[in-house]
Amino acid sequence: MSFSNRYGPWAIVAGASDGVGAAFARALAARGLNVVLCARRKALLDQVAAGIRADAKVETRTLRVDLAQPDAMSRVADASAGLEVGLLVYCAGADPNYQPFLANPVETGLAMVQRNCMAPMQMCHHFAGPMVARGRGGIVLFGSAAGFAGAPNLVAYGATKAFDMVFAEALWAELHEKGVDVLGLILGETDTPALRRLREQLGHRDDPDAPLRGAASAGDVVSEALAELANGPICLVGDQARGAAKFIGGMSRSDAVRFMIQASAAAMGSGAPRKEA
C-alpha cells in the first residue's frame, strides 16, 4: 500500500506554523497527502500552506487555534468535518519559558497540561475511531527527553512529556494490530525557531546562519519519524536523546534526576531569567 493510500487522503498537523511541524506538513504533502495545518499564528500558517500548494498538487486548510484552550478540539473537529483524516501529527507543546514552577501562576502549568495532554488525548480519541473502522491510519505524538526524569525549570513540561510517551506506547499497544500505526517521537534538543528564541532569552548568542551544535535538525526529525512510523511505539530521535535514554536506563530514579539536573544546566546554561515566586 502506498503512503498516501495508507495515511491519506488528509493529514492534520498540530503545531504547523514553523519548525518541525512545518517541515512535517511539507513532507506529508510531498508524499501526496492533503494537509490541515493548525497553530496560533495564522500568518505563518498561511505562508506554509502557500509554499505547500506551490510545491505539491495537494489541498490545504489552515486553522488558527490555541491548543492550550479548552475549545481547541471542537474547533479542530469543525475545521476537519467531512474530511477523511488518515494521519494525525501532534507536534505542538514546546516550553517557551524554562522557569521555576513557582515563578509563574499555576494557570501556566495548567495550560501546558491542556496543550500537551488533554488536547492530544481528545484528538487521538476523535480521529482514531474512524481509522480503526477503516483498518488503516497513523498517529504521531511528539515527546521529549525532558520526560525521562524530573528536572528544574521543566516541572510541568517534563511531566506532560512523560505522559505523552506512555500514552503513545499504550495507544500503540491497543491500535497497531487494528491497522493504525502509532509512534511516539522522543526528541532531545532540536534546532527550531522556538529553541533559538528561548536560548536568546537565556543569554546565548548563537550564529543564526549555523546549525545549533548538538541539536537535531527539523529535517532529521521528520526523516526518522517517517522511517519508523510503521514500527512504533517509540522512536528516539538524534544522538542526544538516544544517549540520554541509554545512560539513564541503568540508573535509579534518584540518580536519573541528578543526571537531568546536570544535563539541563549544561544545555540551557545557568543564567535563565527567574521571576520571584
Torsion of CA 132, 136, 137, 138, to 10 degrees: 90
CA distances from residue 233 to 10, 49, 60, 118, 159 in whole angstroms, order as listed: 22, 30, 28, 20, 19
Length reported for the chain: 277
Name the catalytic one among 7, 90, 98, 157: 157
Cα Dmax for the chain: 56
Active site residue 157: yes
User: What's the N-to-C CA distance of the chain in angstroms?
Assistant: 55
Name the residue among 15, 26, 46 with its Cα closest to residue 141: 15
Looking at residue 114, the DSSP 8-state letter turns out to be I
Q: Which residues of 39-65 are buried (b: 16+ CB within 10 A; e: fewer)?
A: beeeebbeebbeebeeebebbbbbbbb
Query: b/e string for 95-118 if b means 16 or more Cβ within 10 A?
Result: bebbbbbebbeeeebebbbbbbbb
Report whether 92 contacts 66 (CB < 8 A).
Answer: no
Q: Would you please indicate which residues are annotated as catalytic (active-site) residues?
A: 157
